[in-house]
Structures are given as C-alpha cells and as structure tokens.
C-alpha cells in the first residue's frame, strides 16, 4: 500500500469510528419514546360503532348507502351528491374554505364524515340529534316536490329496486329509507390504526420523539390544553365552544339560548386532521401550523371566548411538536373504490 493510500485508509477509518461514536452518543442522549401507560388506552377507539336498534348495519345497507352517497341523481337539479362535499381523497371533506350547494356558497366548512358514527350530536351547531336525520340535511334546499321527484326517479330504476329490497325489505323508497341507508354507510367510514393508535396498543416505535412530545403538550392543562375539548378516543368532547373566532355566526346559540353558546361550534374530531384542511367552522386556517398559532395567541375575539382558550406559552419546538402529533392521528386506509351506480 502506498503512503498516500495508507494515510487515506487511516483517516477514513478514523472518520467512521468518530461517526459511529457520535451516532451512539446521539442515540444514548436522545429522547426515547416510552411505552404507553395503562391510562393511555382510554384513547383507543371502541371495536365497534354504536348503532341504533331500528337501523343496524348490514352489508346490503352499507352497499346501498354507498351508492346513494355518490349518486348525483338524488339531489335533482343541483347535480350534486353527498360526495361533492365529502370527497374520499380529501379526508371525506371538500378542501374548500366553506362548502357550496349548487350555486349557493355556504358560510361554514364541510367537516369530515370519518368517525361520524361515534358522534352524539351532528352538524356544526348540533341541530341534528341522529345520523339518520343528519344524513339528508344537505338536501333540505330541495322543495318537498323536488325531493319526492328525486326519490321517485331512483325508485324507478331496477338496480335500486333490487338494492332497497335486499337492504330494507318491504319498505318503500322514500326520504326515510334513503336517509337510513346513508346513515349506515357513513357509520362504516372509520379512521383508526394511526401511528398514535399503534403506540397506545403497545408499539413504542410507532411515534417519533417529536410526536410523543406533542402528545404530552396536547394533554397538559398547563401547556397546550388541547385535550380540554379534544378528548376521548375520537378526540372530541361532542360539545360546543366559542374558540374566539371573529364571526357574526351565532352557532349553537340559534338552537340553545345560553350566552355561553353565542359563537360556539361543535368540537370536531382530530382523526385524519392533516387531510381535511382548511380548518375551523369558517375555514379560516389553511394549515395545522396556523391552527396551532391561532390557539397559541389565545384566539382573536375574547368577548365570549371559552375559558379553556387562552394565550399559550409555547416555544417554536412546542408548536412543531404539536403539529407532528396531529399528523400522527392519520389512520391507514385501503384505497377507496367508488361504487358502480345502479341503473
């Protein structure tokens, strides 16, 4: 070996050893994600979604509801389907700041329908008490005559006649039977098996150190305090809160005349939250980082703000960790296959 080659070999070996020592030192001194505690299992979703005794799920009802969900013929003149505002590739939302029905732009965003079966109240203002009632809500802009015509139009199709007979034997094709099938399908849309779920179930490698730090901030009342409202397996308390947004929308107050409900809106689930931008009921936050920044400064309008929303003492790393944790709530999903619509 030449002298130059010998020097290069020695130098390379020294660099590799130094790199190895540095890596070991980093691994030993770096944060390690601990195993989930027994109490953390309270964040796991139940194995099954609650179902009403009068409308339990069956494969035939799920298939029927899926077809109806994607069928623009249901809405008649607007040419829209449920999927127009709840698109599978957009986290079952629509990616718009606020939704649109036909040519009418709404004042509120379309929330995801993932895990909606775990909810106890529905819509941003809680006006719907059951998923069956909620399922047909977006079509209320149709007149009774329009809706009756839409139901009759679907009922005249042989494909739907067979599907309804299998799903709801002996029942006519009406607004009620249509809404029941839509509700059953929506209950089948579940987001679980996220990195966070895997960590809670025992895989201590499922979360990164940043995601774990974010979880600790998320649940710490003295820090981010997010779990004050986003708690439980579906990351919602199913309650209504004014989070300090500047808005003329009275929210829940329209249906419950309590001062605390002025400007209050339903706490949305945070599951698959990275896929459902923009955020808040008015779509005013474009990114998760904007959401974190908003809460860090304590909102905008303190006049009727919930006491759980306050200015937070968060570092830049804290904010990054919170966003990292929120991204750990995205579940694993098989590729969605749209239905072939009955003829």
pLDDT in the model for residue 150:
83
Q: At what angle do helices 175-187 and 144-155 cross, to 10 degrees?
A: 70
- Provide the domain count of the chain: 2
pLDDT in the model for residue 80:
86
Q: Which residues of 245-263 are buried (b: 16+ CB within 10 A; e: fewer)?
A: bebebebbbeeeeeeebbb
* Rounded-to-10 torsion of CA 263, 233, 127, 190: 120
pLDDT in the model for residue 325:
98
The answer to whether the beta carbons of residues 57 and 187 sit under 8 Å apart is yes
**Mean model confidence pLDDT for the chain:** 89
Sign of the torsion angle spanned by Cα atoms 289, 295, 298, 304: positive
**Continuous H helices in 168-315:** 175-187, 195-200, 209-219, 288-296
Which SS3 state, helix, strand or coil, does residue 240 take? strand
Calculate what percentage of the chain has a pLDDT beyond 70: 87
Residue 100 and residue 205 in one domain: no
Residue 198 and residue 158 in one domain: no
Residue 320 and residue 197 in one domain: yes
pLDDT in the model for residue 77:
66
pLDDT in the model for residue 20:
38
Residue 171 and residue 260 in one domain: no
Helix, strand, coil share (%) of the chain residues, nearest 5: 45, 5, 50
Q: Determine the Cα–Cα distance for residues 154 and 157; give it in Å rounded to an integer.
A: 6
* Model confidence at 5: pLDDT above 60: no
Which of the pair, 116 or 137, is modelled with greater confidence? 116
In which region does residue 194 sit, left (phi positive, over 0), alpha (psi from -120 to 50) or beta (all else)? beta
Q: Among the three residues 146, 172, 187, which one is the final residue of a domain in this structure?
A: 187
Q: Determine the Cα–Cα distance for residues 24 and 278; give it in Å rounded to an integer.
A: 41
Q: Determine the Cα–Cα distance for residues 190 and 336; give it in Å rounded to an integer.
A: 12
* Model confidence at 28: pLDDT above 60: no
* Mean pLDDT score, 178-185: 96
Residue 101, strand partner residues = 104
Is 155 inside any structural domain?
A: yes
Is 303 inside any structural domain?
A: yes
Q: Among the three residues 156, 187, 218, which one is the final residue of a domain in this structure?
A: 187
Q: What is the CATH number of the domain that holds 90?
A: 1.10.760.10
* Mean pLDDT score, 20-30: 39
For the record, the structure tokens of 195 come out as 């990195």
Lowest mean pLDDT among 4-13, 39-48, 95-104, 268-277: 4-13
pLDDT band at residue 267 using 50, 70 and 90 as cut-offs: very high
Structural element, H or E, at residue 104: strand 104-105
For the record, the structure tokens of 205 come out as 């490698």
pLDDT in the model for residue 144:
54
Structural element, H or E, at residue 266: strand 265-266
pTM: 0.87
pLDDT band at residue 140 using 50, 70 and 90 as cut-offs: low
Residue 98 and residue 177 in one domain: yes
Domain containing 285: what range? 192-327
Is 33 inside any structural domain?
A: no
For the record, the structure tokens of 289 come out as 């980082």
Residue 111 and residue 205 in one domain: no
Q: Which residues of 266-286 are buried (b: 16+ CB within 10 A; e: fewer)?
A: bbbbbbbbebbbbbbbbbbbe
């Amino acid at each position: 070996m030449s002298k130059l080659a010998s020097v290069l070999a020695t130098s390379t070996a020294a660099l590799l050893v130094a790199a190895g020592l540095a890596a070991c030192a980093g691994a030993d001194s770096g944060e390690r994600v601990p195993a989930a505690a027994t109490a953390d299992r309270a964040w796991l979703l139940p194995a099954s979604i609650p179902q009403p005794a009068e409308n339990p799920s069956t494969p035939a009802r799920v298939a029927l509801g899926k077809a109806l969900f994607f069928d623009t013929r249901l809405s008649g003149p607007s040419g829209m389907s449920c999927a127009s505002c709840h698109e599978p590739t957009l986290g079952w939302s629509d990616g718009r700041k606020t939704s649109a029905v036909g040519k009418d732009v709404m004042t509120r965003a379309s929330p995801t329908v993932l895990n909606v079966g775990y909810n106890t109240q529905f819509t941003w203002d809680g006006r719907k008490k059951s998923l069956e009632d909620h399922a047909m809500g977006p079509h209320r802009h149709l007149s009774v005559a329009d809706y009756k015509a839409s139901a009759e139009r679907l009922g005249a199709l042989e494909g739907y006649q067979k599907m309804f007979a299998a799903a709801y034997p002996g029942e006519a094709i009406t607004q009620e039977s249509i809404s029941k099938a839509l509700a059953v399908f929506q209950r089948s849309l579940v987001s679980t098996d996220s990195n966070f779920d895997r960590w809670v179930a025992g895989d201590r490698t499922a979360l990164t150190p940043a995601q774990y730090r974010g979880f600790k901030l998320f649940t710490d009342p003295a820090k981010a305090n997010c779990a004050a409202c986003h708690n439980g397996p579906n990351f919602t308390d199913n309650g209504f809160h004014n989070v300090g947004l500047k808005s003329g929308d009275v929210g829940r107050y329209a249906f419950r005349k309590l001062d605390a409900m002025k400007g209050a809106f339903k706490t949305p689930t945070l599951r698959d939250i990275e896929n459902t931008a923009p955020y808040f009921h008015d779509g005013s936050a474009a990114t998760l980082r904007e959401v974190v920044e908003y809460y860090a400064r304590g909102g905008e309008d303190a006049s009727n703000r919930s006491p759980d929303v306050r200015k937070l003492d968060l570092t830049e790393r804290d904010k990054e960790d919170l966003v990292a944790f929120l991204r750990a709530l995205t579940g694993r999903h098989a590729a969605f296959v749209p239905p072939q619509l009955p003829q």
